Amino acid sequence: MGVLIFVGVAQAQDKPNIVLLYADDLGYADLSIYGNEYHQTPNIDSLMKAGMRFTQAYSPAALCAPSRVGLLSGRYPARFGVYEVVVGVKARGKPLDELPMVQPDNELRLPADNNTLGELLKAAGYRCGMFGKWHVGREKPSQRGFDDFVMLRNGGHLDVKMSYLRQSGDYPEPSGYSSDYISLCADQFLDKNDDRPFFLYLPHTLVHTAMGPGTKPLEPKEELKNKYKALKPSKLHGNPLYAGMVEALDQSVGALNTSLKKGGLLKNTLIIFTSDNGGLLGGPSGKVENGLALGRYTSNYPLKLGKSTLWEGGIRIPLSVTWPGHIEAGSLNDAVVSQLDFLPTLMEVAGGGKAPGKPMDGQSLWPLLRGKTPSEQERKLFWHYPGYRIYKDVGQRPASAVRWGDWKLVESLEDGSVQLFDLKNDISEQQDVAQKHPEHTGRLRKALAKWRSDTNAPLPTPRK
């Protein structure tokens, strides 16, 4: 990347430090502050209560890699041909030759000609650090704006060496539980604080169902596993292994808070907490609530299904933004927002100007964060998945989706059929009203087709 010129940069003393906490597969209903009666997340709850919490926040995709591409670029991952977590084509659950459509190749990259959040904040005078799950291609974080980094992949919560890829500088050798190690690296990064403001990006590997050292798919700390085994399950949640990993994530958030307090940094630090996509159900548990199947690992209820699907359970996520003295503590916001909004928001906060380069697909949340009412113009958001994730004939098939105001349309890329939902009155997406409201069906379908054309979204083709 060349040298970026950032227009309208504020004076260094006026800029907040920025922390972006990005959980892996943490579902909408996994936190006690969002109503979970089994998981205990006091540190995350406290963080969210100190700022503004959102109830209708969305990730750019229903899977890890495309969501991260959208997060760091501020643009829809479909623009880059990213929709899955591996390079090339891989159907999940069935042989390729048994599928009716041929999937397009998945790119899994951050294009060199598209500025990233790290590059833009570095150009705005920030010292940037990334510690955790990168998962946006083969380039190192140092090639995309991050001065300091430790790269991890999935796998190895109990032994982070299993997840370790590479690092910069003199950060500790990987050992122990992943969230503890990430906390240790973050603390060292904060201790290096100089006259510049910092951007600290912490994409955790928790609570993804990665493995301990050659053992089980779900493996929390022993004391947390025992704690939740002794607790009575709630109506919707009751997996002690999964709950233990959620609380391990919560402990890491508490450790970060301690590090910020220790350095006297908390007052002028803007903290975003969110997740890359909805919670992974882990297969049906046999329990059903109001027509919705609950998962073996977790439940995103009242949202439908979870990770890898374009239903609300796969794309609606927890989100809070905290900045003492600037964002009202304890505020709740039901505006429709996206993680694509983070880049333009942080550019405005960091420098009072817009990000240079290609137009962003998101919009600044700063007016909302300052307490202003949302624009009267209804928000439009899009999602796209041209591949297959099918297990026992259940899962995600090629489809696109659009939310426009309170209406959401899901369109099959196999046969062109559509489903329409009124999310204001049907958050669980149980009533398809496409035939009842042809005017909304036509309007959303036309918008979705235009968006696919404008973004050059990759499409499946019929198998010959």
Q: Coil, strand, or helix at residue 21?
A: strand
CA distance 280 to 203: 17
**Does the residue 435 lie in any domain?**
no
**Does the residue 92 lie in any domain?**
yes
Q: Which residues of 144-260 form beta strands (DSSP E)?
A: 148-152, 164-167, 198-203
Q: What would the pLDDT profile of 56-113 be if each residue is shown by its tens digit?
A: 999 999 999 999 999 999 999 999 999 999 887 777 777 888 899 999 999 988 888 8
**Does the residue 148 lie in any domain?**
yes
Which helix (H) or strand (E) covers residue 64, if one does? helix 64-73
Kindly provide the b/e burial profile for residues 226-247, where b requires at least 16 CB atoms within 10 angstroms of the residue's own CB: ebbeeeeeeebbbbbbbbbbbb
Which helix (H) or strand (E) covers residue 38, if one does? none
**Which residues are CB-contacts of 327 (< 8 A; sequence separation ≥ 6)?**
51, 52, 270, 321, 369, 370
Taking the CA of residue 29 as centre, how many other CA atoms within 13 Å lie in the half-sphere pointing to its CB? 27
pLDDT of residue 452: 98
DSSP per-residue string spanning 365-380: -HHHHTTPPPPSSPPE
CA distance 426 to 1: 46
pLDDT of residue 188: 97
Alpha helices in 379-432 (DSSP H): none
pLDDT of residue 215: 55
pLDDT of residue 353: 64
Q: Do the beta carbons of residue 151 and residue 375 sit within 8 Å?
A: no
Which helix (H) or strand (E) covers residue 331, if one does? strand 331-338
Q: What angle do CA 441, 442, 444 make, to 5 degrees?
A: 70
**Does the residue 212 lie in any domain?**
yes
DSSP 92: B
Q: Give the domain range for residue 230.
A: 15-378
Residue 144's alpha-carbon distances to 22, 84, 131, in angstroms, are 18, 21, 14
Backbone angles phi, psi at 68, to 5 degrees: -70, -35
Peptide bond into 207 cis (omega under 30): yes
- What the block records as the tokens of 398 is 């090629």
DSSP 214: T
**CATH assignment of the domain containing 38:** 3.40.720.10
- pTM recorded for the entire structure: 0.94
Chain centre to alpha carbon of residue 96? 28
**Does the residue 460 lie in any domain?**
no
How many domains does the chain fold into?
1
CA distance 185 to 259: 11
Q: What would the pLDDT profile of 274-316 be if each residue is shown by its tens digit?
A: 999 999 998 888 888 998 989 999 999 999 999 999 999 999 9
CA distance 71 to 106: 18
In single-letter form, the type of residue at position 264 comes to G
**Does the residue 409 lie in any domain?**
no
**Does the residue 176 lie in any domain?**
yes
- Flag residues of the chain having pLDDT under 70: 1-13, 210-218, 352-357, 376, 393
Peptide bond into 42 cis (omega under 30): no
Kindly provide the b/e burial profile for residues 149-168, where b requires at least 16 CB atoms within 10 angstroms of the residue's own CB: bbbbebbbbbbbebbbeebb
Nearest to 66 by CA among 88, 79, 84: 84
Taking the CA of residue 326 as centre, how many other CA atoms within 13 Å lie in the half-sphere pointing to its CB? 18
pLDDT of residue 291: 86
CA distance 400 to 459: 10
**Does the residue 412 lie in any domain?**
no
